[in-house]
Structure 1
Amino acid sequence: METKEFTGVAPKKAIVTPKTIIHQKFGTKACYTVEEVKESDENDCPGLSIPQKRPCVYRCSLQLPELLVVSGIFKKKKDAEQSAAELAIQKLGIRVDTDDPTPEEAWDSIVARINYLFSENFLSSLHPLSGHIGAILQRKGDLCGSLPVSVLAVYDAKLGSLCKYIDPEVESNPFLVMSYIIKATTKLSGFIATAEQHPWIRKQSPYPEDTVDSLLKQDGLQEPIQVAAVRIPSSEEKYVEAVTLHISSKEYYLNIIANELGLEDASNVLISRNLGKASSETRLFFAAPKSYILDPSSKLPNGKDGLRLDGPSNLRASYLSGHDIAGDAILASIGYTWKCRDLFYEDVAVQSYYRMLIGKTPGGIYKLSREALLASELPSRFTTRVNWRVSFPRDILCNFCRQHRLSEPLFSIISPASKEPTESCGSNLKVADLGRDVIGCVNGAPTTSRPMQSDTEMFQCEVKLLSRCENLIIKCFPKDCFKKQNDAIQNASLKLLVWLNNNFNNTIVPFEPLYETADIFGIQIFSENFFREISHYHSIQNCQQLNQSLGINSSCTTPVKGVCLLKIEGPDSGVCPCNGSLSCISYSVSLVVEGENIKKVIEVTNNFEFEVGVGAVISYVEEVVMQMSVGQSAYFTTSIFTSDLIFASASDSVEMQSLLSSKGCCLEYEINLTKVAEPLEERMEQALFNPSLSKQRVEFAVRHIIESHATTLIDFGCGSGSLLEALLKYQTSLEKIVGVDISPKGLTRAAKVLHSKLVTNSDSGVQLTSIKSLILYEGSITKFGSRLQGFDIGTCLEVIEHMDEDEACLFGDVALSYFCPRILIVSTPNYEYNVVLQRSNLAAQEQYEESGEKTLLQSCKFRNHDHKFEWTREQFGKWASGLAAQHNYNVEISGVGGSADIEPGFASQIAVFKREWSLEDGFKDADMDHQYNKIWEWVCNRKNE
């Protein structure tokens, strides 16, 4: 596969919202008032008799000193506020500068910014740099008032942003900002002084004494402090270690860090971007290469050749920061903030370093969010929102992009009915052209209005990862289709995350397996530059595996990552996990040195829930849990798989280093299975059947409709109308369709979906069916109503099991004695097949066939929590044959999913009742005619607007 490399482009200017512009102009004088608007109860589904609650909509009034404006109506309050602000900008004629500055304008702005930063007005403001200036004014000797250029470059974001308009490479190499600052100071020679040999800047004329005295009085650091930090050695053979920074009230903290690194003073210390959250002050501090101390008259370097490393490269620090670092580095959380003038600091432990390290991988982000580093794993499949715990795949992908300084991922929702999205060609590809098939972009791009989502409409999602300069890096477009747009987004995000995580975990040279697996996941690679970080991660992993190789337990007789000495205790309760079930465990993990009676607990988690069968936990944990029942405990040991996770879990890194270097070191797990929630019926069926059982049932009914040349159909227990909607896609002889259900909510949804489908077909000029009318009734299917009598074919698919057993029998009597359809199709789950579904493998089916006593059924649950009963084949056959004989119908037993000749038969068993007599010969009058409530009606010769 070929890759497409793209050159850097100028950064896109940050979007300034209308509210921001109004705030800059009027401040607190701008008053927003949002009110809820009551809309008229217009029915978006003609013929629907049930009143519909309209969604809340809002209008905003913006009061300014000179003007009052009122927005339009919006679904979100914030949209109404932005609209009001935009109207005010238009009416006031405020000019919004949307053009990026030219390089010459950016130079002038940099000079002006530096001039302001050393002014008296800035010194009194609340800004991280004013805290640094206050600290350096307390220094003694020649360095009093001298500010390191690195501090100016890192702690003033505006300088960095302006430099990007001069050189886009600043985005990938932030230390170039220092070069531009030094260059800009030549235009401030009468105001700013610089040193030839040391990279610092100071104001030539001293600040007024009263200003300095006032500033010093505000300094809250009165007593010496001790700050825990971490040293990251450049030598890969050394462990990361804890250090303590001792800072007195009059000392500049950067000087203390410089001393810790063996440097002359703070001017020789470079500072990384903040690591982790935007509000974090955790940064890397390291030695500045001599090459960045430039002669201001010299030509400025470009991004690739500007800074050359002095000394050995520090792979671990470089990987954390995202740029090259040489020599040892200090990881510390200390500095001045926007909130107050006091020096802010927090302790950083070795554990924090390892958590940051693994937090740059997709799997690590998931593990940290679950707080189960030694048990959880990034799942391989997204099933339902209900079963997913903590951060969803989309959120994890966004977090991953922020960790690696990429743009937010772009998600495009696509309908598979039309063509796949096309890409525009060019050297600076931004995003794919949005064709007619792209029905929405999640990241704020325009979306087209859509009719109500139907039960059969399917969606796909395309994900793009872009650099900060919006160059395309990766495009992921899985072929899987989903009924819900959110499920498509989460699935595509997870596909990309799993692929990235596999490559982070693969310690082989990355590029070959990258391309080998990309096509499988529906991924295209457009740039290899990003994957150099994966190479750095592999180097770190190889180094750490070498350091801890001596501690691997050689006495374990099973392969690495296998289970040793498994012991399960407690009585068998019969409640066992199966694929798709939600299991809850409490567990502890200990580091054990065999032969020395040493055991150190490093992770304890209670009430940890995970879905079985999707890879949400480490493989051997799931392997053990699958052998347990609720109430049992399991104990086993396993070989150490990586030291990263151990150091990230344990609070005492020194003790861990000592234990890991011991012979016969292994991990011991103790697991208690406390609860198991059975999976939903649809989820279990999806694991075994393609097409799904629901689709197979529809096709079964359609086949009988076509064979019987039926013109009228009634669906008993139609619910949300999934069968009725599906019938609209088939060419049949049906002219009239009626649906009956007891749920007004389900019928309302059915009406909206069917109306949307019929209108869409009408607008497109496509007549897919011969249907002339469609009616939905509310009422019980166990009560006779003359409106439901005498249809050619009746269906009752997967309904009766939701009723009490005596009500199901009553429905059979009422249907065949009063409703009297020519054909009645009734389906219900085969309880015997639950063995296969709940075990979700072929071995369970073979085990069932070999068991003459069918004892496996005793441990099976119903397929859904709201099923009142489920019949075996014998019970269903007895009910159907007895009912047919009583009402003079013929009956044929069949089914879908599985085979009648192979145990345990069909997954969904179906009875087809047929009458040979006419209604005039055997129609039975009912004592009471139940009046069904007509919920919705559609007639083809009526215009439905």
Structure 2
Amino acid sequence: MAAKKEVINPKAIIHQRFGDKAHYNIEEIQEFSSNGCPGLSITQKGPCLYRCCLQLPDFSVVSEVFKRKKDAMQSAAEKALEKLTDPPVENPSDQLVSRLSYLFSNEFYATCHPLSGHFRAALHREGDLKGFVPISLMPIYDSKISNLCKSIKPEVELKPFEVTSLIMEASGRLPDSVFGSKEHSSLKRVTPYPPEVLQSVEISCEEETYVKAIRVPYLVNKSVDSLTIDVSSNKYYMDAIAKELGVSDASRIMLSRGIGKASSETRLYFCDPKSCELDLVKEDGQREGLLNTRASYLCGQDIYGDAILATIGYLWKSYDLFHEDVSSRTYYRLLLNKIPTGIYKLSREAIFAAKLPLNFGTRSNWRGMFPRDILSTFCRQHHLPEPVFTSKTTSKSEESFKSEVKIFSKDRNLILHCHPSESYKKQSDAIQNSSIKLLSWLNDYFMKVNTNGNNGDIVFYPDHISNDLLTQIKESCEQMLGFDGGNCEYRIEGEESEITPTTGCLVCVGYCVWLVNGEEREVIEKNEEFEFELGSEAVIPDLETVTGQMSVGQSGHFTTKLTSRELTFVGNGDPERVSGLLASGECALEYCVTLLRVTEPLEDRMEKALFSPSLSKQRVLYAVQHIRESCATFLVDFGCGSGSLLDSLLDYPTSLERIVGVDISIKALARAAKTLHSKLSNGCIVPVQSSRIKSALLLDGSITTFDSRVYGCDIGTCLEVIEHMSEDQATTFGHVVLSSFFPKILIVSTPNYEYNPILQKSTPQSQEEEEDKNPTKPCKFRNFDHKFEWTRDQFQVWASELAKKHNYSVEYSGVGGVEGVEPGFASQIAVFRRVRDLPEGGEMKDVPYNVVWDWKSSNE
């Protein structure tokens, strides 16, 4: 067996010439997402990058920036070799000639430069094409060639086909070393390489090698299909691709930029429309009907005719050809990665379970790629500049932040401007929440073609972006994400346990998804442990609904409609098996999910660790006491959420006959309806109470908007709700409820900010909280979704002003802690009492709320 030859790369050549006199100095560079954009005040660290300075006796050179230290050193060595070989020139045209001279030199042939691999492979071409290197490859694999061509003729940035004439013209100035063939758009070295140079890089053994690729037809009614390409070491793989595309040789083939990761060798190969005989050419030179919209969208370049998606190429680190199989799964994952929710799904490796949440929670509860990173990835995938973030402190408090984000076109024209009104305690939370708001808008816009482009927080400038791009994104979104679940029938197996999840809990499940056609089935996704926050809409609705009904150890089974064929191929199943099932008839998706464990929200854990009974139960008991004392029969819970208070009240005997819950979350109300219906229809735990309740109503609407159906209630509750609004919205709620709803009694509770230090010492802190721990900083809020938390003085000023203005009395109390002992109660409570008769006008039919659930006792 022949001994393995040492790779003669640029660094090795420099060592042969200079030995210990060559000094490499590596500089670590931190990449930031600002990208030098003007007006950017917030930056975010990216991965570490490296730059190398090579010091030689007579001069020094500095490399480009790379992800690996080795690549930076090789780049510096290559630049040094260029400087040793090339005479100093300034004119870009002269520099291009000099660069071509170096590329066809003995030194370059023996390097591990990606383009040198094509020079060596070209010597295996047959007949008259032997030694000819296609010009189309040169700007793709050599950045210096590309940059020089752009300097000479800037329009080649948008018209890459025009680099051929520039390179051919430069080669004409090297008649003794380079021969150019206009017929084949290729270049060849005039004199043969010396035997010692050829021997240093000769292939030790010849092997037959085949790689799988994907054909993307330009006709949209044709589906993508797989093919096999011969990339054996004694052939030139570019000629094999040319044959598959129906042209004579590799000189007719163009390459797209890398698709996917920055260092990816996954590219689209397609015919040069100028050099190929393509039909249907219009008078203006455009190819009518031959634009390959799928391929063009995938790489961000105009591609005509059929294209081949393959992962093949030469790398810096080896003489051997690098190659990987490309399947339909690869193709559809690349498409999915261009959609915001698709980027999130892929980051979680949960295509059929995950869904981009509508809101950003704490970093400890968020799973998958962070919103800001998703937005940056979306911009990069569509070849747009990095998003520009600005943040500022609010006028009310120097400790609260608002963040804006802007997206620009390639020409620096503003496309999208997101300026949320919400403020956050942490600057990073403000940035993440502005990102998720913009991502949610993008999903809605591209999924709903007729959706209005603007809303209160987002301004869209469609004239500043290509209509073709908008159309392609919309088509891709509809193709990949056409179905997101809905109401489903499910069954739950296993014995119930005492541990059940509630909204805000972090749950961990194991699940499996099958593609089902009759009796046949194929596993297309499986996850042994998958975490998400219940109620955050981080998974498809069906999965969240089923998980919310289980206890730890139980399993749930449900079936949904089939997602698009394209999304199905993204899964992990056997592609041939999946294709067979899809082709044989109507398919569905079958899910099996097991609840493994439940972690309560930090706020609940802190309260339970310090209080027994818990604060939430103490608040219920406080409400029950006032219901009994007032003999209230009509109760309204403002901001009822998933109905935890209403559900708990049913466990106690009271005078209540009519209960109403109001909230803006339809999904939370749906969960409340299921819980209340189960209790009220089957009989409550307390028989006396179950016989009294005559009606229950759940309404979807904002508690800052009046609805006559909840006018004049005996008692209204708003427990731990107002802190989830902005301070202005909390004040608006106070004015509306006391001036329009006129409850006889209103109970409002909210966290006492002064009690937070005690609560936060009651439980072990997460890593994120430990990092943020700083004695000079104020205490954190109890929940990531709290927009504010008031001290006792702030709360009492708010309540006193409302009571005085609307002719109510108010008294202050609380639960958790001891009255009169600092720092007061953990939950502070204000009880408003109406001091005048109920005004007339309560019968008006102002009913903006939507009915979600309406229950009446069978006795009624």
TM-score > 0.5 by shorter chain? yes
Equivalent residues of 2:23, 2:54 under 8 A apart: no
Q: Cα offset for 1:642?
A: 2.0
1:610-644 Cα distance to aligned partner (Å, 9 max, x none) = 01222210122112212222221111111112222
- The separation in 2 between residues aligned to 1:307 and 1:206, in whole angstroms, is 40
Structure 2 residue aligned with 1:225:
209
Give, as a single letter, the amino acid of the residue that structure 2 aligns with 1:601.
V
SS of corresponding position for 2:423: coil
Q: Deviations over 1:413-469 (max 9, x none)?
A: 222329xxxxxxxxxxxxxxxxxxxxxxxxxxxxxxxxxxx9x61111222323455
Q: CA deviation at 1:335?
A: 1.0
Show the counterpart of 2:438: 496
- Relative to 1, partners in 2 of residues 1:606 and 1:416: Cα closer, same or farther, differing over 3 Å? same
Opposite residue 580 of structure 1, the aligned amino acid is G
Which residue in 1 is equivalent to 2:455?
519
* From 622, 636, 660, the counterpart of 2:558: 636
Query: 1:671 matched to which residue of 2?
Result: 593
Contact 1:650 1:656 in 2 (8 A): no
Partner residue, 1:537 = 473
Q: Structure 2: which 5+ residue stretches go unaligned?
A: 1-20, 29-52, 58-88, 278-282, 625-635, 655-678, 687-750, 752-758, 764-795, 822-860
**In 2, are the aligned partners of 1:382 and 1:388 still within 8 Å (CA)?**
yes
- State how far apart, in whole Å, the 2-side matches of 1:851 and 1:28 are: 79
1:27-80 Cα shifts (integer Å, max 9, x gaps): 6265999xxxxxxxxxxxxxxxxxxxxxxxxxxxx99999xxxxxxxxxxxxxx
Q: Tell me the distance in 2 between the aligned counterparts of 1:63 and 1:336.
A: 25
Q: Compute the displacement of 1:346 (Å).
A: 1.2
Deviation readout 1:562-586 (Å, 9 max, x if unpaired): 3444111122224322221111111
Contact in 2 for aligned 1:830/1:906 (Cα 8 Å): no
Q: Is the 8 A contact 1:896 1:907 kept in 2?
A: no
8 Å contact kept, 2:252–2:275:
no
Offset of residue 519 of structure 1: 2.8
- Distance verdict in 2 for CA 1:139–1:805, change over 3 Å: closer
Pairing 1:648–2:566 present: no
Matches within 5 A, 1:73-152: 105-152=91-138
CA shift at 1:139, angstroms? 2.1
1:678–1:64: structure 2 CA closer, same or farther, 3 Å change rule?
same
TM superposition shift of 1:850: 4.3
2:301 is matched by which residue type in structure 1?
H
Task: Answer yes or no: is the 8 Å Cα contact 1:146–1:202 preserved in 2.
Answer: yes
**C-alpha distance in 1, partners of 2:244/2:599?**
55
Amino acid at match of 1:162: L
1:348 maps onto 2:270 in alignment? no
1:401 is displaced (CA, Å) by 2.1
> How far apart in 2 are the matches of 1:457 and 1:479?
16
2:91 alignment partner, SS class: helix
Residue 599 of structure 1, aligned match among 512, 515, 521: 521
> For residues 461-512 of structure 1, what are the alpha-carbon distances to aligned partners after superposition, in whole Å with 9 as ceiling and x for unaligned?
2223234554543332222211111111111121222222223333x2xxx5
> Is 1:581 matched up with 2:505?
yes
Cα contact 2:522–2:573 (8 A) shared by 1: no
Aligned to 2:419: 477
User: Which of residues 456, 460, 463 is equivalent to 2:405?
Assistant: 463
Secondary structure of the structure 2 residue equivalent to 1:290: coil
Residue type of the alignment partner of 1:255? D
* Deviation for aligned residue 1:606: 1.4
1:374 and 2:339 aligned:
no
**Deviation readout 1:641-673 (Å, 9 max, x if unpaired):** 222221000342232223223434111111111
Deviates most, 150-159 or 837-846: 837-846
Alpha-carbon offset, residue 167 of structure 1? 4.3
Paired residue for 2:41? none
Distance 1:911 1:568, change over 3 A: same
List gaps (5 residues or longer) in structure 1.
1-25, 34-61, 67-102, 294-304, 419-453, 550-558, 685-797, 809-825, 869-893, 915-945
**Local SS of the residue matching 1:501:** helix
**Using CA pairs below 8 Å that are at least 6 residues apart, which structure has the higher relative contact order?**
1
Letter in 2 for 1:28: H
Q: Secondary structure at the match of 2:206?
A: coil
**Deviates most, 230-239 or 361-370:** 230-239
Matched, 1:236 2:220: yes
Q: Distance in 2 between matches of 1:641 and 1:833?
A: 48
Equivalent residue, structure 1, for 2:23: 28
Give matches, 1:468-867, under 5 Å: 468=410, 470-506=412-448, 508=449, 513=451, 516-525=452-461, 528-529=464-465, 532-540=468-476, 561-594=485-518, 597-681=519-603, 830=619, 832=621, 841=641, 843-853=643-653
1:264 aligns with 2:264: no
Q: Deviation digits for residues 131-169 of structure 1, max 9, x if unmatched?
A: 100111222321111111111121111222223334444
Aligned length: 597
Cα 1:140–1:655 shift into 2, 3 Å: same
Deviation at 1:608, TM superposition (A): 0.3
Partner of 2:150: 164
2:299 corresponds, among 316, 321, 324, to: 321
The CA deviation at 1:805 is: 7.8
TM-score by length of 1: 0.56
One of 178, 183, 194 as aligned partner of 1:192: 178
Distance in 2, matches of 1:214 and 1:289, equals 38
| 2:558 partner SS | strand
Following the alignment from structure 1 to structure 2, what is the Cα–Cα distance between the partners of residues 285 and 460?
46
Partner letter of residue 239 of structure 1?
A: S
What is the rounded CA distance, in whole Å, between the counterparts of 1:379 and 1:584 in structure 2?
17
Contact 1:896 1:906 in 2 (8 A): no
Q: Give the superposition deviation at 1:387.
A: 0.4
- Over 3 Å counting, the alpha-carbon distance change for 1:139 and 1:907 in structure 2 is farther
Give, in whole Å, the separation in 2 of the partners of 1:654 and 1:827.
Answer: 54
Residues 282, 331 of structure 1: 8 Å contact kept: yes
Partner-residue secondary structure (3-state), 1:464:
strand
Distance in 2, matches of 1:542 and 1:624, equals: 26
In structure 1, C-alpha distance between the alignment counterparts of 2:292 and 2:616, rounded to whole Å: 67
Structure 1 position 844, deviation (Å): 3.7
1:362 and 2:337 are equivalent in the alignment:
no
* Identical amino acids, percent of aligned pairs: 40
* Distance 1:114-1:840 versus aligned 2 partners, 3 A rule: farther
Q: Could you say what the CA RMSD is over the residues aligned between the two structures, in angstroms?
A: 4.5
Task: Measure how far apart 1:209 and its partner are.
Answer: 3.8
Residues 315 and 540 of structure 1 are in contact (CA less than 8 Å); yes or no, is this contact kept in structure 2?
A: no
Q: What's 1:246 paired with? A: 230
Give the aligned residue type for 2:263: S
SS at match of 1:518: coil
| TM-score normalised over the length of structure 2 | 0.62
State the 1:590 CA deviation. Answer: 0.6
The separation in 1 between residues aligned to 2:334 and 2:623, in whole angstroms, is: 45
- Is 1:210 the equivalent of 2:183? no
Per the TM alignment, residue 311 of structure 1 is displaced from its structure 2 partner at its CA by 6.3
Decide whether the 8 Å contact of 1:135 with 1:252 is kept in 2.
yes
1:852 corresponds to which letter in structure 2? Y
Contact 1:633 1:673 in 2 (8 A): yes
Return the letter of the residue paired with 1:575.
I
Asked whether the 8 Å contact 2:168–2:182 carries over to 1, the reply is no
Answer whether contact 1:379 1:616 (CA < 8 A) is retained. yes
1:827 and 1:147 mapped to 2: Cα distance? 74
- Give the counterpart letter for 1:479 in structure 2: S
Q: Distance in 1 between matches of 2:504 and 2:153?
A: 53
1:157 is aligned with what amino acid? S
Tell me the SS of whatever aligns to 1:661. Answer: helix
Contact 1:160–1:174 (CA under 8 A) maintained in structure 2: no
